[in-house]
Amino acid sequence: MLIKWKKASDVNPSDITPKDVFLNRRKFIQAAAIASGASLVPTFINSSLAATTPGYGGKKYPDVKKTAFGEAEKLTTFEGLTTHNNFYEFGTGKSDPFRNARTLEPSPWSVEIAGHAAKTGKFSYEDIIKPHQLEERIYRLRCVEAWSMVIPWVGIPLADIIKRFEPNSKAKYVAFETLVDTKQMPGQERNALPWPYVEGLRMDEAMNPLTLLAVGVYGEHMPKQNGAPIRLVVPWKYGFKSIKSIVKISFVEKEPPATWNVQAPREYGFYSNVNPRVDHPRWSQKKERRITGEGGLGALFTPKIETKYMNGYAEEVADLYKGMDLNKLF
């Protein structure tokens, strides 16, 4: 079954980052670092290492509904699980998640549902996704570090998940929490960030049709270093809002803490919507470097493109922020 879902923000098949680039980035050279240790410039790793890295991906989902976009995209095979990626639970370098995520055990997995809802408790990964039809959503991912990708995610609209647990009128926000386990996530032995990593959305943001609870990419189970087995994808916000390896979802009355907002509130707002009009204090957000199918050093010299307001999804989400000054409430 084909879902007809076409907006001004829709992604063309030609925009999709090829699978070998998304999962098998080569020879990274770290050229710049921000105070937190995150790089603004692509770094490259050895392709032979990528081919030997075990991951949770590679297992196909049997029944995924295709959207109207990307259906003709030719995907490469899984040869390794690596990425130009931020996942500090495995280290602060771009290749650290790829190198270290082999220790993550995404099965068995459970997610605790807590807070102001009729149905709470611990639910297995299977319990969370089984009642729902998985679908493919091709979204742009814009990192706050001014690089971007286009990724075909597999997942479930978060609104469908939320409705199952029947939050009540006190539930104004949805809070998310990542696993804490230094054996599985060795980067947590360092104090790069306070653990667990936490994030939050306003309830109306969480219920927006674009918000996705993702369980895979390219029709397959989520790779470990990309947030296996279950993560958030909020395409109009900077990538750090899309929390990975979720173990707890809470329905809360007050604005919940969000890790980067707590860590550096002058640099990372609670909302963190993609906005080229509001620069980061240490770099411009007006343009981004798209990670494309170019291999090797070519990725370093890919021309920058203009960043779109709300990452190009303003038509679908701008009404959520009507009357708000997003230059101040960034």
> What local confidence, expressed as pLDDT, does residue 197 receive?
98
3-state secondary structure (DSSP) of residue 115: strand
HSE at residue 58, side-chain half, CA atoms within 13 A, is 11
What pLDDT score was predicted for residue 18?
Answer: 55
- Mean pLDDT over residues 7-15, rounded? 58
Q: Above 70 in pLDDT, residue 25?
A: no
Instruction: Give the up-direction half-sphere exposure of residue 185: CA atoms within 13 A in the CB hemisphere.
Output: 24
DSSP 3-state of 113? strand
Q: Which tens digits make up the pLDDT trace of 141-190?
A: 899 999 888 888 999 999 999 999 999 999 999 999 999 999 999 999 99
Question: What share of the chain has pLDDT > 70, as a percent?
Answer: 74
List of residues 6+ apart from 89 with CB closer than 8 A: 97, 178, 179, 185, 187, 188, 195, 197, 244, 245
CB distance 153 to 217 below 8 Å:
yes
What average pLDDT does this structure show over 187-209?
Answer: 97
The answer to whether the CB of 293 falls within 8 A of the CB of 21 is: yes
Range with the lowest mean pLDDT among 83-97, 144-158, 211-225?
83-97
pTM, rounded to two decimals:
0.86
Mean pLDDT calculated for residue range 276-282 = 95
Write down the residue that tokens 């729902």 correspond to.
132
Enumerate domains of the chain plus CATH numbers.
2-321 (3.90.420.10)
Please report the pLDDT score of residue 261 as a whole number: 97
Q: Which residue has the higher pLDDT, 44 or 267?
A: 267
Name residues whose C-beta falls within 8 Å of residue 269's C-beta, 6 or more positions apart in sequence: 261, 329, 330
- Residue that the structure tokens 């969000």 belong to: 258
Angle in degrees, CA 182, 184, 185, rounded to 5: 60
| pLDDT averaged over every residue in the chain | 82
Among the listed ranges 57-61, 212-216, 259-263, which one has the minimum average pLDDT value?
57-61
**pLDDT band at residue 10, thresholds of 50, 70 and 90?**
low
Task: Out of 64-68, 111-115, 157-161, 267-271, pick the least confident.
Answer: 64-68
Which residues make beta-bridge pairs with 134?
A: 64
Average pLDDT over residues 305-316: 95
Q: Which residue has the higher pLDDT, 330 or 76?
A: 330
